Amino acid sequence: MDFDDQLRRYFGTDDLTTIAPTTLEVGIDRMKVDFGMEKDSSRKFALWTLMYMFGAAPDLDVAFKSEEDREAARDFMDMMAKAAGE
């Protein structure tokens, strides 16, 4: 999953600065639906990371059945925190 492709899919643009608040809300709702229906663990993880970046990711114990996937998500959260200087 390419980040820009996902932005275009859910928000109609790959320019984050042009996403209107209502478009953001609708796009996040669509991501949540797709996440709930996704069966492929790699695609599900990619969707979760995108939702995480928008502050809309479900809790790890709800999002992932596998402890391995939950650990990968924790690693991603740590990496994002370090990138943000936390």
Query: Measured between alpha carbons, how far is 20 from 28 in angstroms, rounded to an integer?
Result: 12
| Per-residue model confidence (pLDDT) at position 37 | 96
Q: Please tell me the predicted confidence (pLDDT) of residue 86.
A: 73
Q: Name the token pair of 14.
A: 């790959």
Residue 64's pLDDT is what? Answer: 95
Compute and round to an integer the Cα radius of gyration of the chain.
13
Question: What pLDDT does 3 receive?
Answer: 87
Contacts 24+ apart (CB under 8 A), 25-29: 28/54, 28/56
- Provide the pLDDT for residue 1: 64
Q: Which residues of the chain register pLDDT less than 50?
A: none
